[in-house]
Amino acid sequence: MTDLSAFPITRKWPAQHPDRIQLYSLPTPNGVKASIMLEETGLPYEPHRVAFDTQDQMSAEFLSLNPNNKIPAILDPDGPGGKPLPLFESGAILIYLAEKSGKFIPRDPAGRYQAMQWVMFQMGGIGPMFGQVGFFHKFAGKDYEDKRPRDRYVAESRRLLGVLDHHLEGKAWILGDDYGIADIATFPWVRNLVGFYGAGELVGFADFANVKRVLDAFVARPAVQRGLQIPAAPGA
């Protein structure tokens, strides 16, 4: 039987199945990247809910795994060399799970770098910029009188959507015919921008028909539908 007791995070979120990948998350645009990937690969895992309303992400147990107090994070009891591997940052988690499962990343080296390039594009551009649109359009920043910060992030988000839209012309997925980690990184954020943040009109989403087409295909995948609900809310 696998023993994860050396990891303090398992004291707050005990592992019922310590032989499975432990997922610490919440269904946010970064969190669902990990749950969707786990659902897509079929790797056995056990989800644990990190509740923001009770500041679980600031607890000593969570910080022992991710000192950056952000979800998602995982603990794989069977990491490289058969040793447990704790891991945070959703981009690193996607790459790790793709390599572990041998799925959703091209086998050829050039294709692998293309996948990483688009994951980095999401991590460094789409996520941070769309997140700022959320702050200035939906959350506390919407009450700021000065609209210049909001407009700057809207313009940059629109520019990024244009880059993605142009790239997706004639393609089923970001890497062409094959669905993979670049899509799993990117489309939860696009969905969130036009859905939860309600910023579709603000960024002129109707101008990006290719992005809309691929978003619809992404959301229609059964594993995506499941991953968007994981970890489930209490009582759900």
Ligand X SMILES: N[C@@H](CCC(=O)N[C@@H](CS)C(=O)NCC(=O)O)C(=O)O
Site for ligand X, rule CB under 6 A: 28-31, 52, 57, 69-71, 89-90
Most distant CA pair in the chain, distance: 58
Q: How far apart are CA 15 and CA 21, in angstroms?
A: 9
Nearer to ligand X, 52 or 144 (CB): 52
| Cβ distance to ligand X smaller for residue 30 or 132 | 30
Nearest-approach distance from CB 193 to ligand X, in angstroms: 13
Instruction: Give the SS3 label for residue 76.
Output: strand
Q: In terms of Cα–Cα distance, which of 59, 58, 65, 55 is closest to 22?
A: 65
CA distance 32 to 45: 14
Least Å from the CB of residue 181 to ligand X: 13
Instruction: State which residue, 18 or 119, has the beta carbon closest to ligand X.
Output: 119
| Shortest distance in whole angstroms from residue 59 CB to ligand X | 11
Residue-wise DSSP of 153-173: HHHHHHHHHHHHHHHHTT-SB
Residue 170 C-beta: closest distance to ligand X, Å: 29
Nearer to ligand X, 53 or 108 (CB): 53
Q: What is the CA radius of gyration of the chain?
A: 18
Residue 71 or 175: the one with the smaller Cβ distance to ligand X is 71
Residue placing its CB nearer to ligand X in the complex, 56 or 156: 56
Q: How far is the CB of 126 from ligand X (least distance, A)?
A: 11
CA angle 134, 137, 26 (to 5 degrees): 25
Q: How near is the Cβ of 124 to ligand X at its closest, in Å?
A: 9
Q: Are 34 and 94 a contacting pair, CB within 8 Å?
A: yes
Determine what percent of the chain falls in helix, strand and coil, rounding each to the nearest 5: 55, 10, 35
Q: To 10 degrees, the CA torsion angle through 134, 156, 87, 232?
A: 30
